[in-house]
């Protein structure tokens, strides 16, 4: 995960148990879990939006190349007559 092994995780849990107390620790863990789940959902939404925008751009490029011909960077695709 973040380079945290089992011994480090146990020490963190023991310190949290001592500082927060056994009554509030489950509530804190529940809140932390909900927060992480919400963060994951938000990042997944952003990733989907970015992928949708890329897909939309690719679709527009294909549409334009089919309807209007590919007018971008035609220097590499010149015919033999145009090269002379």
* pLDDT tens digits for range 48-81: 888 888 888 888 888 888 888 765 554 445 554 5
Q: How far is CA 3 from CA 7, 22, 37, in A?
A: 11, 26, 21
pTM of the model: 0.50
CB-neighbour burial class of residue 25 (10 A; exposed 0-12, middle 13-18, buried 19+): middle
């Amino acid at each position: 995960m973040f380079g945290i092994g089992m011994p480090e995780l146990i020490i963190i849990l023991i310190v949290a148990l001592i500082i927060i107390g056994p009554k509030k620790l489950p509530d804190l863990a529940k809140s932390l879990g909900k927060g992480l789940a919400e963060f994951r959902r938000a990042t997944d939404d952003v990733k989907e939006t970015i992928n949708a925008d890329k897909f939309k751009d690719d679709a527009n490029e294909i549409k334009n190349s089919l309807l209007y011909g590919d007018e971008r960077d035609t220097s590499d695709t010149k015919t033999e007559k145009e090269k002379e």
